[in-house]
Amino acid sequence: MEKLIKELKTKIATMCKNGCEYNLCDTVLDSLYSVYPFNKFEYIISHLIGTDTITLQQYLDIRNRYLERNKYLYVFEITAPRTFGETWAQRHLNEVIPELQRPSAACDPDYSGQYDFWYDGIRIEVKASRAVRRKSGDSLIIKALSSDSKYAFDMNFQQIKPACCDVFVWIAVWRDVIRYWVLSSDEVKNNRYYSSGQHRGNVGEGQLWIKDTNIDDFKEYEVGVRDILSNIIGKGRRK
């Protein structure tokens, strides 16, 4: 979003230098009454095209670059935490690793909803979070960050129960990339950033924050999408 705004402001400055009578200053744009799908970006672009400041092809180039930088922005539109954390994350992981099975009492007689996937005797729990700008009261989609952003971010992996699974797969979403970490339950339980006792009385449940200040400490657990399953197998077998 920051890159798009900067690019459009440059085009607006060019339009103003050419003697355009339209006022597209920040005050005007911020006070613009908008109703979906008509907003300030549509307002700016229509003026830029209408005054021949940019061509239709230049607009399409701007649009395509934005789409490429924000291919996962739609994930930040999911406002319900459970819909994101369970429905989207589990479906996404199952799409990239179709070998994972939905658990049932048929494969695990002790199963009662404790974990999300089963693979050849390995119990797998999926956790997901999104990189958003810290200390901002805006909506998720406005706070969403790209992977090269310099803003501080928080990602909170909640309701972690190491005793209920063998392996964790953590999914982290930025505007432009999705990253994956695979950890054994012991690696989570013994991690210095793991905080047990997320909720009073919930024994064996905790949370873990990944931030811009500690994300490098998790490099050893990060894997490419093609290596997720092999790491699940390797860490699950050592359990």
Cα separation of 130 and 52, whole Å? 39
- Pick the range with the lowest mean pLDDT from 70-79, 103-112, 150-159, 198-207: 198-207
**Lowest-confidence pick of 18-22, 49-53, 176-180, 221-225:** 18-22
Q: Which residues contact 67 (CB under 8 A, 6 or more apart)?
A: none
Instruction: Please name the residues in contact with 180: beta carbons below 8 A apart, sequence gap of 6 or more.
Output: 169, 170, 171, 172, 222, 223, 224, 225, 228
- Domain span at residue 53 reads 2-69
Global pTM value: 0.81
**Of 214 and 5, which is predicted with more confidence?**
214
Q: How far is CA 215 from CA 34, 90, 179, 221, in A?
A: 38, 23, 11, 11
CATH number of the structural domain spanning residue 190 = 3.40.1350
Q: Mean pLDDT across the chain, nearest whole number?
A: 89
Domain ends where: 50, 69, 88? 69
93 and 208 within one domain:
yes
Q: What is the pLDDT of residue 38?
A: 78
Q: Which of 51, 69, 87 is the last residue of a domain?
A: 69
Please report the pLDDT score of residue 27 as a whole number: 81
Are 112 and 211 in a shared domain?
yes
Give strand pairing partners of 155. 210
The answer, yes or no, to whether residue 69 has pLDDT greater than 60, is yes
174, 155, 162: which is closest to 125 by C-alpha?
A: 162
Confidence of residue 30 (pLDDT cuts 50, 70, 90): confident
Q: What is the pLDDT of residue 41?
A: 87
In angstroms, the CA 108 to CA 99 distance is 17
